Copies of this chain bind each other. A is one copy, B any other.
């Protein structure tokens, strides 16, 4: 464990005491939320930051689990003296519902049947994920979050938080995200889902006692990785370089490095992620649309009170800068306090997860300003 890490952490579990009514009209009776916290909540509860993770992420954002060789997924950003400074802030990260990383999802055991839910688990939206997170924040007795921060689908949750619970969100940092999924985003997700559902082992979602749809899930993940990387970043990272070869194989082995990379990413993913959760979370992303009016007829951002920092990355083609600009435009229409920054980065959509001095200093500066401006519960 490097000295600049928060060190050893453990995942905790919170049982939501009441049933959750979902946007689909369905109900989730028993909901478990896996979460981790870092640092200490101060006496006036003014230093809590919620981090929302992306598709395949989990509650383990920083530090090390016991005996683990690798730290949490945003170790570069969260820790003592880091941009999201755990010496100063109380950081919370929870696994989204629908996932398979400790919170309730299709691979969880349904207490009513003592079998995995599989597809009997109800479809959840980004709004439902946030509704469940809110129960956790209430349980932690935090009336107002200093900030909600997240990238990609985590950015969707961040936007949702600020609109759904405006009194509880002092600031919000949606990174590399969008107000709504484009046709292209839906198309990629749909093809990935079709790949899973085409695997005979998927068996309409009932595979928990049998062979898993690993091949279909691997292809789905490869499709995802294409969208995370972008044309430019693939050119920089791989070009047409061959994999351990001086000439073509003239068979269907991986000739090019980019092929080996994708195969490796696909095969690695199936060991840690559930195929049904992939279906559920991508569908939630597709449904997400913050340009619509709320259920009560008011426009999405009309009641938002958070101060926003919106960040996009130049080489992100999944949620390109123009998506963030549309977001900023809509916020400005509602006279919202919003800062926007497009960061030069060559690694595509994944850029928000990778070391980037500009992002680090931007986040650090924004959180310092927010901490000094925090007004408490209004």
Given contacts A191-B223, A198-B199, A289-B240, contact A182 B259 (CB under 8 A): no
A70: interface (CB < 8 Å): no
Question: CA A182 – CA B25 in complex, angstroms?
Answer: 46
Chain B residues with Cβ under 8 A from A209's Cβ? none
Given contacts A198-B215, A222-B191, A240-B181, contact A186 B250 (CB under 8 A): no
A254: interface (CB < 8 Å): yes
Given contacts A187-B258, A266-B194, contact A252 B181 (CB under 8 A): no
Given contacts A195-B195, A219-B219, A226-B184, contact A262 B231 (CB under 8 A): no
A235: interface (CB < 8 Å): yes
Contact A256 B186 (CB under 8 A): yes
Q: Mark A249-263, 1 if CB is under 8 A from B, else 0.
A: 011101110110011
Contact A198 B216 (CB under 8 A): yes
Q: This chain: how many copies in the complex?
A: 2
Question: CA A231 – CA B262 in complex, angstroms?
Answer: 22
Contact A219 B195 (CB under 8 A): yes
Chain B residues with Cβ under 8 A from A287's Cβ? 248, 255
Q: Mark A100-143, 1 if CB is under 8 A from B, else 0.
A: 00000000000000000001001100000000000000000000
Interface residues of A (CB under 8 A from B): 24-26, 119, 122-123, 180-184, 186-188, 190-191, 193-195, 197-200, 215-216, 218-219, 222-223, 226, 229-231, 234-235, 237-240, 248, 250-252, 254-256, 258-259, 262-263, 266, 279, 283, 286-287, 289, 317
